[in-house]
Structure 1
């Protein structure tokens, strides 16, 4: 039995689509089961509720061989500890109680680099990994840079203003990855019962690109000028709070981006084993362009 959390999210939805073709028994935890496609609800066991709830994960993890774990974004959390560690503690208790064999979790690049620095959400994600690992479960932490798919949050600005925004320097090159590739790596690990121990699995797209590089590629694919505009950190933080994010999470977002701009994501060497196939250009052609033209 494989358990999938966040089955309607960007990664979980694509992961579930792959797992449904495997013939393995599947159980999902869904806060709102009605968001699952009808054909999916017919083929999986659904446990309604939040996977931060002890009763929910205790029920869901019974008889589980493997769990896909993702702590979803919580913009209103009072702290990063609440968003990651408090959220995950009930699951760790359920993992131990039911003797779950393997967990594949969504985390971030930065282990060995973020230590001793405040990397905001990354620091919290790595602490979550340590919490899960403390149960003794066989664990693979998917260590990722920024998602290409996060650009979808700026579709309106790209469509109407020809601009996208961040606090990152325009010329510093960073790795990125596509969520569909993350889902593919997660599926491979969840369907493989041969691995043991605890380790990080970097998930790196095939190239490092700067924000200005991204703008140039988007301009070519969308056949219109797209430019990148760097915004000051204080203004970024204030905008997040204005849109309803808590002070703590807004600051953690800014701290994460600052750490990335200082090389946090560039420390992991790109090897064939950890390189995923989707280029940013391909992602723009297949995902961003249809969204902008919609």
Structure 2
């Protein structure tokens, strides 16, 4: 007989991890939407956020409510430095050149955390409530539940901000036509900078949530590979696609890991990626446009 309670718990766990994929995917989309840069270092920036939180909380003995903003600010600072020092000088270069810069950046960040904190996995100080959570009879791990709620708040703020704020309107105008945005007085370079700053800050915050659930290590950057699948499935320039794709991939990975084994999780994920690229290369919600690197 089908154990529906067990299946429900696996599904809820998948939604929890999918929400973290979604919020990181939104950060990925924000950079791509504004600058047309495919930032493959997003997983390493997420990793850096987890380590920054660990350094502030365990190293400096700051309370969690202070260490979290420190981690987010660290990610935002990295975003500002990378945009101004690496990405802006590459304007006008081929997309593959900028793409390779982000790959190199990821390697640098992974090496940096190994030099500072070592290569061994670490656990973050406990800061999330640990009381059991049940939805009906289904048990949800508290860290997963709170991570889901935090991720949904961030994604909702992104969607509303893009729709109603002046910065969101400026970003959408810049994404649609940079020359037209210049002509109506939008400071396009500032939009570029803000997109990197906000996106990297959000990715760093997501790294704290991911680290709280599974610990931190220099290999956390592999999280970015699943995020890449998420945004390709949902659409590289679609916030809604990042949300739907994140939740979908999270659930698929949860069931694949449960019934096939953890080693097959990425096999299933990347099989879906190949299928989407063959059938709908611009994603479920992305602009009907194919850009060759």
TM-score, normalisation: structure 1? 0.26
Give the number of the structure whose residues are more often helix, by fraction: 2
Give the number of the structure whose residues are more often strand, by fraction: 1
Greater relative contact order structure (CA < 8 Å, 6+ sep): 2
